[in-house]
Structure formats: structure tokens, C-alpha cells
Amino acid sequence: MRLPGFKCVVTGGASGIGAATVRRFVSEGAAVCILDRDLASAEQLAAECGGETFALELDVRLEPSVQQVADAVLSRWGSVDVLVNNAGSELNKTYDQTTLDEWDRVLDTDLKGPWLLCKYFVPSMVARGSGSVINVSSLNGLVGFPLSTAYGSAKGGLVVFTKDMAIELATSGVRINCVCPGVIQTPMMERWTDLMPDKEEAKAMLRGVMPIGRMGTAEEVAGAILFFASEDSSLCQGAVLSVDGGFTAQ
């Protein structure tokens, strides 16, 4: 048990990496609040996990909603040990074909959302003198790809946001770190390949991008998130961990 009695919040926790993280945290002894726009799926996962796990509906782009959820969670638990900013929105379009609404949706979800969650959860961690925040960025936040100007800008911004926050929080007892998954088999990846003329050819291309010759799993990324959530990462502050099968080692 690496998170005995920990109280953890996971955004975008109803599917993919978020759901794998919720399950891993529960298996390590944590109570988890699942935050997701898909409340039905979040509640189903909470029921599967049992214990103190519960679900609340949240659109991370909306400040009043974030504040309301934070108030509810802190009122229920008193404090939070771990915050995982995992909720994300993808877009695969050239810069000139991207609409303003699409740009705002991606940036608001992937960058403004983590800032809002930190704004309303981290002060209580600071007041207590302990806590861990894990931001889920992406390979796209470290290197350039075509059709990725909005998504890459948001995820790259999240990497630097993590480092800036780390310096602000350095002496507070609160740690903030970042994981950057590579090509991971998730519903988000499935939605991307669904847009391709040949779905299986697109998947083969994605496997080829990874030096290890396969896609990663949500559970493998959850293991990296668990490291930052636990006291095993006590000396990590502002760290950026690539979970990408060797892509950025090339």
C-alpha cells in the first residue's frame, strides 16, 4: 500500500489514463474523487471501486464549477493529498483550419483547467504543508507534430506551468510534477484513428513511432502517476517524466 488513507482527486477520471489511475490509487489504499463531464461513467467506476470512492460532474473549463466542486470535496474530506490534472481535449487540425472555438476548447481544457484546479485545491495543501499535484501533459508537449498546434501548445504550456508552479511551491511542502505519455491505447487514441482513411494502418503507424514497437497502456502511465503521488518521489519538484517508449530518447 503506497497511498494508505490518501485522499486523491482525479480529473477526467472516468476513462483512459484517468480511470486506470483511479483503479491503481484505490488498489494502493486511497480514497478517490472522480471528476468528469461524463457523470454516469464516473459513477459506474466509483461503484466498481467501492470504499470511499465517489464521483462528481465537472467541466474543468468553468471556474464557478471548479470552485463549487473544490468546496464540496474539501467540505467532505477536509483536505486532499493528491490532485491529478488529467482531463484533456484533443484536436487534429492544421493551424489555418483550426477555428477559434476549437482553439479555445483545447487550451481551456488542457491548460486553463489544470490552473483552475490548482487555484482551488492547492492552497489547502499549502496550509497543511503537504500534498502532490501531477499534471498529465503529452509527448506533444515536448516535441512538434503536424496537425497539433492547439493541442501541442496547450500541453507544452502545461509542462512550463508545472515548472513555474514548482518554483512557487518549492518551500511549501507541496510537490508538483508532470508526466508526458507517448502513444497510449486509450479512447482518445481510438477517436483519432477513427478519423483516418484506414484505421488499422493508422494504428500500425502509431506503433512504429514508438521505439519499443508497441503502444503503451493506460495502466503503465498510471504507474508513473502513482510514483509522483507517493512519497517515493519526495525529492521531485517540477520534474517532467516521459512515458513514451523511448521516443524522446532518439
**Catalytic site residue 151?**
yes
- Of 151, 161, 228, 247, the catalytic one is 151
Name, in order, each residue with C-beta under 8 angstroms of 238's C-beta and a sequence gap of 6 or more: 162, 163, 165, 166, 167, 176, 177, 178
What is the amino acid identity at position 138? S
* Spatial contact of 23 and 42, defined as CB atoms under 8 Å apart: no
Q: Are strands 216-217 and 31-36 parallel, antiparallel or unpaired?
A: unpaired
Residues forming the active site: 151
